[in-house]
Structure 1
Amino acid sequence: MSSLPEPVTAGGEDHAVTGVPRPWFAVAVAVLAQTLVLLDNTILNIALDTLADPVRGLGASSAELAWAVASYSLVFAAGGFAGGALADRYGPRRVLIGGLLVLAGSATVAAFSVNATELIVTRAFMGAGGALITPATLAVVSRHPPAAARTRAIAIWASSGGVAVALGPVAGGLLLSHFHWGAIFLLNLPVAAVCLAGVVKLVPELLYAGRRVLDPAGLALSMLGMGSLVYGIIEGGGRPGWTSPLTIVPVLAGVALLVTFVLVQRGRERPGFDVRLFAAPRFSGGTVALLLLFFGLAGQLFYCAFYLQGVRGLSPLAAGAVMTAAAGGIVTGNQLSPAVCKLLTVRWATVAGICVAAATFGAYLFFGPGTPVAWIVLMLLVQGAGIGAVVAPMTAEMMAALPAGHTGAGAAINAATRPVGSTLGVAVLGSILAAGYRTAILPALADLPPSARDRVLDSAESARSVAVVLGRPGLAAAANDAYLHAMSVAAIWTLGLSLAGVLPVIACFRPRK
């Protein structure tokens, strides 16, 4: 690798401030900001039913709701590389302040959206704010604490995902019970204000003697490439399907743009984003493993939500309460991971965590209409513990493999694995789920009118609605059976693809000499 900038301790604008007197206060601010970013990615799910209502919400269609959810992750993933480069160029403190301002401002506009299109656009701007915040927060927790405490700091940072998973559905349900739906976005304002005050008071500058030159062309290629790829994946999971030009063209264009980006960056002496960071086996192997893990997690949580609310008949708030078990497990696994790694080594601790999580993904093969809720809670708790045991040590190892001056770029890649993996998981596994449902429900459509048949084919939720209108409880039962069949098929794919994550861990995390 070429020579990379390192922080120095002398005074001056281009120098890092070291010897932070209260590093854990800076970590606390970074963790709170990261929790806010992830909360915005989970809290909307509980409000989708309200937003679809023309009286209580916006009367949004199912496609519009899908894009309201996806636009955040799409821009978050595409903009993460730019956020990391900006953090390296201007320092994580300044980028963190900018990201919080963008997030708070766009959330305010989203709260007062008058139609679904406006909501989709403002959610995209919220994703841009998150793309600035996440790599900056990881750079803070990776560099400010003493070296001996950094693994613990990253474990706490990684726990923010579990906290967000727990708070999102519950906080959203409580707000929707008492206020207008826009309250779920206005929640950002007081939290962002606390974070901004904390950054100003408690987070010092962390700049580098050789501040990296911005590369607008390279950033544009990375953002357009990632955006086009993710867009195509989202379309593939929807009505157009994987063989549609609406899917194939953007996916191929995204791949071509990303390949061009890599070639351009490799040819520069001081690239805006050094793709040679992937030459570090632990960094590249960890990226693949985390991508596959979040692929399985997001896809599984997607069909779990429909299972709990559709097949089991739980309210959104009750379903959210059940799913908080996964969050509790993630936090527990994060905190126990340092001790487990000392006992088993990082390599085998993460392999064990992936295997535990994959086993819980496969547990859906045994779920039916009468499975006790307590078993589901236990499964989600164990699942979260397995995932938590992987994320913290994996992230710490990946960041430790990077030169100090490139923590922002490395943090951007690390952060991008989550939304990219999640988007892939929902798109691919959602497509498998839909295809399995349509195949299984066909025998129940024989004597239905054409308009009702089309609605029943759309989803199990639509089938239950048609069953109520037509007074045919047997159709609702058939929809539940078809969904359970589809969920079993999706669970097999989730199990297999998630287990594939152990291969890069075994290959790349060999003991250091």
Structure 2
Amino acid sequence: MTTPADNAGRGSRIPEAVHRRRWAILGVLMLSLLIVVLDNSILNVAIKTISTPAPTGLGATQSELEWAINAYTLVFAGLLFTAGLVGDRIGRKKVLLGGLVVFGIGSALAAESGSPGELIAYRALMALGAAFVMPATLAVLMNVFEREEQPKAIGIWAGGVGLAIAIGPITGGLLLDHFWWGSVFFVNVPIVIAAVALMVWLVPDSRDPRPGRVDPVGVVLSVVGLVLLVYGIIKGGELADFTDPTALSAIVAGLAVLVAFVWFEKRSDHPSLDVTYFRNKVFSAAMAAIALVFFALMGVTFFSVFYMQSVRGYTPLQSGLLMLPLAAAQMIFAPRARLVVDRFGNKATTTAGLLLLAAMLAAFAGFDADTPIWVLEVVFFLMGTGMAHIMTPTSVVIMQALPREKAGSASALSNTFRQVGGALGIAVLGSVLSAAYRSRIEDELGMLPAAVRDKAGESIEATLGVAARLGPRGDALVSPANDAFLHAMHVTALCGTVVAVVGAVVVAVFLPGRASTPRKGEEEQELVAAVE
């Protein structure tokens, strides 16, 4: 039991009443985090259903599916840092409550979408709310736990992400078995109501005594640059031609705007992205590791759903259950990864995690339509194990690299890189998948009229949809479609493998090894000096 003397020993930053209920507060924060992560993990098993023509789904094309995912991740990433600053300024609790309400409204609207365009728009609205939830949860955590308990709390927080990943696909499969496709979004509404009620009751407010100013120019430049870049990548994959003038001009324009964003931020006295943080090589390497992990993971998740449902013939619920080992491994190992770090250090732990992830991505390049399903389960479990030993140490490095009062900024930066990495992973690897599929299937579509041939070459679902409408004549397209998808999946998996290996090299070079124990009183000074 904590005594006043203990509290004095810890310092007077955290009130005793808050310290006593810190674990209950963590539970509420994890519930808030749950809905943000749950939404994407539910969507993963629903994308095939949404691509099915009405009334079962919306008849979304592969590029529209990519935008339904990336509309969320790009708005989320573009606003995270500003959301962190707003929380630092007006109070994290207020921002959490407002973000949850907007997310709930967006979820209800997305559930009733009548077209892929509406779904994309409402997903962007959901992201607006989620952007204010995610950084505030970690910022509040850093302000209710003392430094010595922060790694444990962050590990549990990271385990909550694994829980959401576990619950999402299964919940999505159950909903799709019994209700319409929109139920995968509507399920967020009661969770939002419960989270808001508990937050009002338990969570204390906190803010930065010296908050930064909001940077609207930086926000606009970052969002515009990312949207143009991702649009060009997706368009190039859709056309199987990245030299197409539309795709190429969008990519070049996006890169130019992002360069302008960095230039502007370096000269701003209130940047939305403080590029001086990246002078610290350890901080930069940890950020790069997070971005590259989610680049690879989101891409492989995107194609694995089509592999399980379109090629292997599993239902959404069965697909959700098959993904359970991925989440279970994160739940098991994320809270314990700090023990591995204590023994072997950040560098060895994170490098090993990335190499394990790379090996599992490479394993997908050997999958075919008859691969024993237990092999897929082992690969998913080992992928989750690798992720747990990447996310926990890098999150601790990032959060402890800045002073406590800048926790909102550190959390926002971490999640920005996570979301940007995921968005680019879906765009790049999704485009590789699309381009490789189209190049392999085109020769098999000569029997179709030109207009239908172009649409049928977009994805395996488009090909199978056309085959179904042709009746017995379309049966001849099923086997080539499966073969073309497997070829595309193999190419995409190898691209993801290269990305994970690059991440392993980065952290092996720049992350620190085993940390030496600082003398009493030196710890805070060392952390502040690390980013100066």
* TM-score, with structure 1 as normaliser: 0.90
Alignment match, 1:46:
45
Change beyond 3 A, Cα 1:237–1:88: farther
Alignment match, 1:406:
406
CA distance in structure 1 between the aligned counterparts of 2:477 and 2:232, rounded to whole angstroms? 34
Contact 2:82 2:214 in 1 (8 A): no
CA distance in structure 1 between the aligned counterparts of 2:430 and 2:342, rounded to whole angstroms? 38
Specify every segment of 5 or more residues in structure 1 that has no aligned partner in the other structure, as ranges.
1-8, 10-14
CA distance in structure 1 between the aligned counterparts of 2:396 and 2:415, rounded to whole angstroms? 13
Q: CA shift at 1:74, angstroms?
A: 1.9
Alignment match, 1:373:
373
Change beyond 3 A, Cα 1:236–1:95: farther
How do residues 23-38 of structure 1 correspond to structure 2 at under 5 angstroms? 23-38=22-37
Change beyond 3 A, Cα 1:389–1:487: same
CA distance in structure 1 between the aligned counterparts of 2:214 and 2:455, rounded to whole angstroms? 51
Alignment match, 2:396:
396
Deviates more, 1:299-308 or 1:427-436: 427-436
**Matched residue of 1:242: which SS?**
coil
CA distance in structure 2 between the aligned counterparts of 1:183 and 1:474, rounded to whole angstroms? 35
How do residues 216-255 of structure 1 correspond to structure 2 at under 5 angstroms? 216-239=216-239, 241-255=241-255
Q: CA shift at 1:260, angstroms?
A: 3.0
How do residues 65-104 of structure 1 correspond to structure 2 at under 5 angstroms? 65-104=65-104
Alignment match, 2:341:
341
Alignment match, 1:495:
497
CA distance in structure 1 between the aligned counterparts of 2:216 and 2:455, rounded to whole angstroms? 47
Letter in 1 for 2:375: W
Alignment match, 1:289:
289
Deviates more, 1:282-291 or 1:474-483: 474-483
Q: CA shift at 1:57, angstroms?
A: 4.2
Letter in 1 for 2:35: L
**Matched residue of 1:67: which SS?**
helix
CA distance in structure 1 between the aligned counterparts of 2:56 and 2:344, rounded to whole angstroms? 53
Deviates more, 1:382-391 or 1:447-456: 447-456
Deviates more, 1:341-350 or 1:249-258: 249-258
Contact 1:240 1:247 in 2 (8 A): no
Deviates more, 1:48-57 or 1:426-435: 48-57
Change beyond 3 A, Cα 1:163–1:346: same
How do residues 60-459 of structure 1 correspond to structure 2 at under 5 angstroms? 60-239=60-239, 241-445=241-445, 450=450, 453-459=453-459
Does residue 477 (structure 1) correspond to residue 476 (structure 2)? The answer is no
Contact 1:84 1:408 in 2 (8 A): yes
Contact 1:325 1:384 in 2 (8 A): yes
Identity across aligned pairs (percent)? 37
Q: CA shift at 1:491, angstroms?
A: 1.8
Change beyond 3 A, Cα 1:448–1:246: closer
Contact 2:111 2:186 in 1 (8 A): yes
Letter in 2 for 1:460: I
Letter in 2 for 1:202: L
Q: CA shift at 1:173, angstroms?
A: 2.1
Q: CA shift at 1:61, angstroms?
A: 4.9
Q: CA shift at 1:445, angstroms?
A: 4.1
Letter in 2 for 1:246: T
CA distance in structure 1 between the aligned counterparts of 2:451 and 2:258, rounded to whole angstroms? 43
Letter in 1 for 2:161: G
Deviates more, 1:180-189 or 1:442-451: 442-451
CA distance in structure 2 between the aligned counterparts of 1:453 and 1:260, rounded to whole angstroms? 41
Contact 1:16 1:205 in 2 (8 A): no
CA distance in structure 1 between the aligned counterparts of 2:237 and 2:333, rounded to whole angstroms? 31
> How many corresponding residue pairs?
500
**Matched residue of 1:458: which SS?**
coil
CA distance in structure 1 between the aligned counterparts of 2:388 and 2:255, rounded to whole angstroms? 31
Contact 1:230 1:420 in 2 (8 A): no
Deviates more, 1:262-271 or 1:124-133: 262-271
Contact 1:231 1:250 in 2 (8 A): yes
Q: CA shift at 1:126, angstroms?
A: 0.2
CA distance in structure 2 between the aligned counterparts of 1:18 and 1:214, rounded to whole angstroms? 29
CA distance in structure 2 between the aligned counterparts of 1:472 and 1:154, rounded to whole angstroms? 53
Q: CA shift at 1:131, angstroms?
A: 0.9
Contact 2:437 2:459 in 1 (8 A): yes
CA distance in structure 2 between the aligned counterparts of 1:259 and 1:450, rounded to whole angstroms? 41
Deviates more, 1:138-147 or 1:39-48: 39-48
CA distance in structure 2 between the aligned counterparts of 1:112 and 1:472, rounded to whole angstroms? 33
CA offset digits 1:392-438 (Å, max 9, x no partner) = 11111111111223221221121022221122112212222223223
Deviates more, 1:104-113 or 1:453-462: 453-462
